[in-house]
Amino acid sequence: MGNLYALSGAFLQQWRNVRRTASYANFIIAGIPNVIILAWIANKSDNPVAITYIAVGASLMLVWTNAVFRMGWALSDERWGGLLDVSLVSRTPVIVTMLGKSLALCIFSLLTGAGAFILILIVSEHAIPIVDLPLAIVSLAITLFVMICAGFIFCPITVLVGEPSGLFATVMPFGVACSGFLYPIGILPAALQVIARGLPTSWAMESVIMATTGSGSTWEIVIRWVIALALAVVYLFITQLLFRLVERRVRVTAALTTF
């Protein structure tokens, strides 16, 4: 119960903070050009599956890039703000506090994703017919959930690798390129396909497309949900281990509020 209280508190704190943060404009500005280009490609395409991929995937791409960047720096922000020592003194595990913050960041990121979806539909002048709406909604919810799990792992990783500036210049496009947000995983180069299959987002995204276009049976969609969720659990488990490593390291090095 106490952890739940801490989780909701962290969520609210981050939610209020993110609404105020002027730097959020960065992400909107950064996302608009890519969305314009993708909308233009969708407009020129006569492949309905590709248009579906672009409309849904561009939205998820924005959610991913916004959320993973902010989640990735969330723990470092605690440290820079001098709050990590307070978190460590409290009985709430750091991972719970950070999860609350990450959830707030992801939900806020959905707003830009929704905006991108509408923009692409307008520019591409195509409607997206959804074959199985309930399955598509569940698939989308699972995709968002596993996206949080996949992005949350970068929260401790950023601290453990020494918070290098520019780290997410690779993480963000890597996640988009290998998650199959914008095209089927099958057209990736072979080496990247292997990596992509280790990402829960790639399986979840496939289920979204199958449910939307009707290109897969219910059974095939459910299998992808199960694999995506199983991988997400693995990611969460590893994240928990990494958080413990962070706690141990900052206690040993006393690097709580300083570099």
Partner 1 sequence: MRNFLRQAYYNYRGLFIWLPWPSYITTVVFGPAFTIIMFALVGRFALGPDVVRPYVLGLVAQYIPFIISASILQCFVLERRFAILSIVYSSRGNREVIFFSRQLFHIPNGFVVVAAGLFFSWLLLDLDFNQVNWIALVLTVLVISLSSCACAAFLGNFFIVFTDWILMYRTFAGVIIVLTGVIIPISSLPAPLAVFSQVLPLTHGLVAFRSTFDGAGVAAILPSLLQELIVGLGYTVLGLVGYHVSEIIAKRRGLVETAA
Q: What are the residues binding partner 1 (CB under 8 A)?
A: 22-23, 25-26, 29-30, 32-34, 36-38, 40-42, 44-45, 47, 50-51, 53-54, 161-162, 164-174, 176-178, 182-184, 187-189, 191-192
Q: How far is the CB of 6 from partner 1 (least distance, A)?
A: 31
Q: How far is the CB of 38 from partner 1 (least distance, A)?
A: 7
Tokens read off for 18: 């993110």
Q: How far is the CB of 201 from partner 1 (least distance, A)?
A: 14
Indicate the burial class of 100 (C-beta count within 10 angstroms; 0-12, 13-18, 19 or more).
Answer: buried
Which lies closer to partner 1 via its Cβ, residue 100 or residue 113? 113
Conformation bin of residue 217: beta by default, left when phi > 0, alpha when psi is -120 to 50: beta
User: String of b and e for 143-178 (b: at least 16 CB within 10 Å)?
Assistant: bbbbbbbbbbbbbbbbbeeeeeeebbeebbeebbbb
What secondary structure letter does DSSP report for 186? Answer: G
Which lies closer to partner 1 via its Cβ, residue 194 or residue 226? 194
Check: CB of residue 95 under 8 Å from CB of residue 243. Answer: yes
Q: How far is the CB of 244 from partner 1 (least distance, A)?
A: 23
Which lies closer to partner 1 via its Cβ, residue 45 or residue 257? 45
Report the 3 state secondary structure along 10-27: HHHHHHHHHHHCCCHHHH
- Alpha-carbon distances, residue 237 vs 9, 146, 230 (angstroms): 23, 13, 11
Whole-number Å distance between alpha carbons of 249 and 238? 16
Which lies closer to partner 1 via its Cβ, residue 32 or residue 256? 32
Which lies closer to partner 1 via its Cβ, residue 1 or residue 29? 29
Which lies closer to partner 1 via its Cβ, residue 1 or residue 46? 46
Q: How far is the CB of 233 from partner 1 (least distance, A)?
A: 26
